[in-house]
Amino acid sequence: MKNKFSKAPSILSCNLNDYRSDVCEIYSNVKIHGSSSSIYFTSDHTMDLEENKTWTIKPYTRKFDSYVMENVRAVTIKPLYTSTEAPQCNIYHNITAVVFSKGIYAGKNFFHDFSDVLVPLFITARQFEGEVQILMADLQPVWIEKHKKFFNQISNYEIIDFNKENQVLCYPRAIVGLYSDKDCSVDSSRTPNNYSMVDFARLMRRTYSLERDFATNLVESSKKKPRLLIIARNHTRKLINIGEVVALGEELGFDVAVNESSLHTNVGDFARMVNSFDVMIGVHGAGLTNEVFLPTSAVVIQIVPFGNLKWIAYGYFAVGASDMMLRYLHYCISEEESTLIDLYPRDHAVFRDPDFFHKQGWLAMGKIYLDQQNVKLNITRFKPVLTRALQLLNDRNFNVTSLDLSFCDN
């Protein structure tokens, strides 16, 4: 695949065919008027463009999600053929501008903070080594403050509220939209300097001053107890026998802790806590996004609720974990481990035909399998998973990633 960041052959380069996002790059004399959602560019070369041609894109990374895209304001990109057409610059900058929307999910869900904004922003803007300005639509100051340390790693300049900016800001180059490769991960073959998800994890460790680069290698630290973190959920998809899981972990020799993050959790504090563990367990949900703070070679165990959710869970967290050089285990619960058995008869389509609900769309599927379901693990059935995690920490090939889906085969 051709590197999408290779030098553009013309003054304007747009990729409008990607599944996840539309992106346009402009390479000369860019004039941005945020409050009108207008971006202009002028150059002698614009005469080669189709007369009166404009481009309209919605600069958000969930192009495939029609519901959220309805709430994203479009940005118009227009070439100007004479200098007299161009609005006058109020402020000149000698750096690149990146224009995008925060969308409606980021700020409400920690996974979407990363998948929709932070990882795509890393892909798009890390190449400029801070010499880039962020112009963000749908900006929320509280959310910006929450991730301020990360934004400071990406840009040396203040973040501009795109919707409210009435001045004409001028730049030599602009990227409108964010590149997005997959959920919460990076395709290094398509990024500048071959940035990877390993590089993103390193940036997280630098951003929050995380102490550990590598998990505990039990071959080298045989007297040290490995640490196991259980990410709790107190609303949907709760692990209702969490005490039994703690006891199992302790029986196997882990130092076990239980914790839960929320929208109000201080990111730095939680990141430092997560980084101190070697194994992290959680039922499918946003809390597993904290895997970005784990040390390299740590083990992630995702508990997949009942309802044919294996590949959804895989795409959200398994791929990113593997790409960060973490070891990953996938555990699919049985019908007996789901509290849905208390709500529906066993011959109901909920158990016999989960695909029936998947075909009705995300809301219908999620109402049952994501919102109504809690988990009660069969400790005997789950024990081999924790035993496997210990084996991975004892593996002499400590730096080799592992993605094990075998615990979903039964």
Position 3 scores a pLDDT of 43
Residues of the chain with pLDDT under 70: 1-10, 43-52, 82-84, 222, 396-401, 409-410
Position 400 scores a pLDDT of 55
Position 6 scores a pLDDT of 43
Position 404 scores a pLDDT of 80
Position 283 scores a pLDDT of 97
CA triplet 408, 357, 321: central angle to 5 degrees? 35
d(CA 127, CA 129): 6
| Residue the block writes with tokens 């791929």 | 319
Which is nearest to 129 in space by CA: 189, 199, 40? 199
Which is nearest to 174 in space by CA: 129, 229, 135? 135
Position 2 scores a pLDDT of 38
Q: How far is the first Cα of the chain from the last one, in angstroms, to the nearest whole number?
A: 37
Position 289 scores a pLDDT of 97
